[in-house]
Amino acid sequence: MRWIRALPIKIQPLGSRCCSSYVSRMRYLMNLKEDDELCRRALQSGTVLLYHKLSPLLQRTDRGGYKLPIFQVSVVNGMLEKLGKDAEVINSSVLVGCSDSLLAQFCLEVAELEQNAVEELCQGVFTDLRKAFFLLRSSEVPLVTRGQALLRWHQTHSYCSATGKPTQRNQAGSQRVCHSSGITYYPQMAPVVIVLVSDGERCLLARQPAFPRGMYSALAGFCDMGETVLETLRREVAEEVGLEVESAQYSSSQHWPFPQSSLMVACHATVSPGSSQINLSGAELEDARWFTLQEVQEALQRNSPPRDIKGEANVFWVPPSSAIANQLIQEWANQQLKS
């Protein structure tokens, strides 16, 4: 199998920010993770995203859409006071990023507060992250998913897996330490390869029984311990659809919060047109099919999920643009149109 070298990766220009401002932000974040006192001070003048049982707070916009509000710490402190809660709660915030003007951004789990009371005071609604993923602008998605992933990680790592003793976090929440065993734990992600297979004319999409009706996506699978990206890609395609990949090319990557944090590594792959007979593994997929360019183009034009399916099982659609599967499918369609 050939591993076609990807084109050089272009770093997206970040609006009007110049490189030095990017470097300043990254250095500042690095310092906040290492210096508890600096981070504590940054929190006093920082901003906070709110979550209730890991669901982020969203607000309606004037245009009927949704936005992700980020509150000044003073506003959150005021809310805690109104609800009769200890101001110390704010110190459990976890560092999630920083703005262009070096204002530190945190996320805070408020499951101990009454949900309706917080929603009323903050004029928002705590929304399941899967829904928020579709409702928010794509520029807001990385921050909201990162916040949830960090809060979830803290919830599930409060004890050392070697000693069973409680772990202590640093102020930024970028690590937890067990002082008994000396083990330091860092937030984890599971690497996943997602691959769009093509036979030159058509692309292969599949569906799991749990997918919404009519939705097909690219093949995906977790990396096994010790595997390279290419080895995972080759194994997953063989396991799931019984095909032998001929060549592969890296496309891009995405943090995916469901069901736990994954790093999705997105690739294109080809099989030879003479060896494209799908042999489905019953274990995971309920269907896998080759789709023509025209079918794919029609699916890309539909809303995700289409509003007009009204119980029809046969309307084919693909994941929304915020999912990296959509990007792979778009890239394939664009490539087909060019060639």
Ligand X SMILES: NC(=O)C1=CN([C@@H]2O[C@H](COP(=O)(O)OP(=O)(O)OC[C@H]3O[C@@H](n4cnc5c(N)ncnc54)[C@H](O)[C@@H]3O)[C@@H](O)[C@H]2O)C=CC1
Toward ligand X, which CB reaches closer, 121 or 230? 230
Question: Which of 194, 203 has the CB closer to ligand X?
Answer: 194
Among ligand X, Mg ion, none, what does residue 70 contact (CB within 5–8 Å per kind)?
A: none
Give Cβ neighbours of residue 276 (< 8 Å, ≥ 6 apart): 199, 202, 243, 290
**Assigned token pair, 89:** 């709660």
Q: Is 56 in the site for Mg ion (CB under 5 A)?
A: no
Name the minimum Å distance from CB 304 to Mg ion.
20
Which of Mg ion, ligand X, none does 264 bind, CB closer than 5 to 8 A by kind? ligand X
CA distance 142 to 150: 12
Site for ligand X, residues 189 to 248, rule: CB under 6 A: 190, 192, 194, 217, 220-222, 236
CB of 202 to ligand X, least distance (A): 19
Q: Which helix (H) or strand (E) holds 122?
A: helix 115-122
Among 129, 324, 332, 336, binds ligand X (CB under 6 A): 324
The CA distance from 326 to 321, in Å, is 5
Please tell me the number of Cα atoms within 13 Å of 133 on its side-chain side. Answer: 19
In whole angstroms, give the CA distance from residue 293 to residue 220.
21
Interaction of residue 124 with ligand X, rule CB under 6 A: no
Per-residue contact flags (x/-) with Mg ion for residues 217 to 246, judged by CB under 5 A: ---xx-------------------------
**Residues that contact ligand X, how many (by CB under 6 A):** 19
The Cα–Cα gap between 4 and 2 comes to 6
Contact criterion met (CB below 8 Å) for 25 and 102: yes
C-alpha neighbours within 13 Å on the C-beta side of residue 297: 8
- Residue ranges binding Mg ion (CB under 5 A): 220-221
- Residue ranges binding ligand X (CB under 6 A): 190, 192, 194, 217, 220-222, 236, 254, 256, 258-259, 262, 264, 284, 319, 323-325
